[in-house]
Amino acid sequence: MKILKALAVCSVTALAAVSLAACKPAAKEISCKDLFSPSFEGLSGNANLYSYTYVTDEKKSEAINSLLGEVDTSKLSSSQYDEYSNAKRYISALLNDVTFKVDDYSSDKKYQNGDKLTVTAQISEEKAKLMNINLKDTSFEYTVEGINEGTKIDPFEKLKITYSGISSDGTAKYDKSECPQFVKNDVYFDISSNYDLSNGDKITVTASYSEYSANKAEVIITQTEKEYTVSGLSEYPSSLDEVNLSVVNTKIEDKAKEYFKSNYTAGDTIYTSDSVTVEVTKSTYTPFKKYFLTRTSDNSYYDHNIYFVAYEINSEGTVKYDTSKLKKGTTVGVKQYRLYYVENIVVDSNKSVVNDDNHSIYVHSNYSNYDDIKDIEDLLNGSSYSDYTVAEVK
């Protein structure tokens, strides 16, 4: 074993020029930090650590060359060559016993360049001492380097999320047509909640992809989840304050005008609530009061809201037939109210009514008018609309 000690400390010159056995032993050092050579699979930021436990063949060769020097074996005698080969074999055996442990290691952990690893080396002190070799730096910090940086992509950067429908019944969808090619082809998105959405709701969009495909394309996905706030959905308003109702009011006006021209022009016959028949000589009509009813019940069977417009019709005419109170030809004035309404007013973020073309105009009690505005207000505040709050629109 004395010869092996000598071999472990011979210089390049000594090995080439003199008998190996003549070298004077002197302790040599190997830093365990220099022996550590971890391998990473994947791209920086998403790389897995593997094959780090043992000293690699490359590191063994470097250590042997450091200890024995570069030796031209062609110049060695047979005995010198045998001793040199034995020295290499014994050094290799010593290094084969060196193992490494990385603190907080996890197979799921992802690494990037610049990360710090705390490493502990386990060595055979007995073998090292026998070979007159000092294995130092058995605990050290290693800085990760050399991992392919790849191309970093935020899959949400150019992803478009759009919302459609009416608040409380909205939906969301995504559009990746402007995203990078890898995102278009290999990233799939899932929206956490995609129905019954309301403005202000939070949704989470998750990106999924194959790590194999990402590594092959040398792409690093920088985030896989993002929260969005639902906005821009049209709404059923709880109030008509600041709402532009001009289009709806025009449609109601057209409906009222059509009825008025067909029933209240000179010569038309109208009937009062007390069964008096009157021939119209002149009349006027005008919007008198407006009301907005909003649903308080969760029952989806009911409309979300109803907009009412009460028209006042003032007519003058003559009694066509004698009654117990009025003689034929008597001039009388007749005041009546006709109630029009629209269901489910919807507004956009600018308080403009949307879907105007879908709003049908209805008439309450189509075959009769009301004699007093109070009758209308009693109706709206009565049991028929108990699931609504009633507000007069100014």
Candidate from 85-89, 125-129, 352-356, 390-394 with smallest mean pLDDT: 352-356
CB neighbourhood size of 145 (10 A): 10
Q: Which residue has the higher pLDDT, 101 or 354?
A: 101
pLDDT at residue 14, rounded to an integer:
37
- pLDDT, one tens digit per residue, over 92-134 is 999 999 999 999 999 889 999 999 999 999 999 999 998 899 9
The pair phi, psi for residue 81, each rounded to 5°, is -65, -40
3-state helix, strand and coil shares in percent for the chain, rounded to the nearest 5: 25, 35, 40
pLDDT number for residue 228? 97
Q: What is the pLDDT of residue 194?
A: 87
pLDDT of residue 11: 38
Residue range 176-202: mean pLDDT, rounded:
95
Q: What is the pTM of this model?
A: 0.63
Beta-sheet pairing, 99-102 with 48-50: unpaired
Q: How far is CA 10 from CA 23, 128, 134, in A?
A: 6, 16, 15
Q: What is the arithmetic mean of pLDDT over 214-241?
A: 94
pLDDT at 24: 45
**pLDDT band at 266; cut points 50, 70, 90:** very high
| Predicted local confidence at residue 15, as pLDDT | 37
pLDDT at residue number 349: 87
- pLDDT at position 50: 92
Q: Is the pLDDT of residue 19 over 70?
A: no
Q: Would the pLDDT of 17 be above 70? A: no
pLDDT at residue 45 in the model = 86
User: Which pLDDT band, with edges at 50, 70 and 90, does 7 fall under?
Assistant: very low
- Interatomic CA distance for residues 2 and 87, integer angstroms: 11
pLDDT at site 358: 67
- For 208, what's the count of Cα atoms within 13 Å in the CB-facing half-sphere? 5
CA 213 from chain centre, in angstroms, equals 22
Virtual torsion, Cα 175, 181, 184, 189, nearest 10 deg: -90
Mean of the per-residue pLDDT values for the chain? 90
Average pLDDT score over residue span 67-76: 89
Largest CA distance in the chain: 153
Least-confidence region, from 173-187, 203-217, 356-370: 356-370
Banded model confidence at residue 172, pLDDT cuts 50, 70, 90: very high
Render 286-342 in DSSP notation, one character per residue: EEEEEEEEEE-S--TTS-SEEEEEEEEEEEEEEESS--SS--TT-EEEEEEEEEEEE
Q: How confident is the model at residue 301 (pLDDT cuts 50, 70, 90)?
A: confident
pLDDT for residue 26 is more than 80: no
What's the gap between Cα 319 and its chain centre? 72
Split at pLDDT 50, 70, 90, the class of 135 is very high
Who has greater pLDDT, 193 or 391? 391
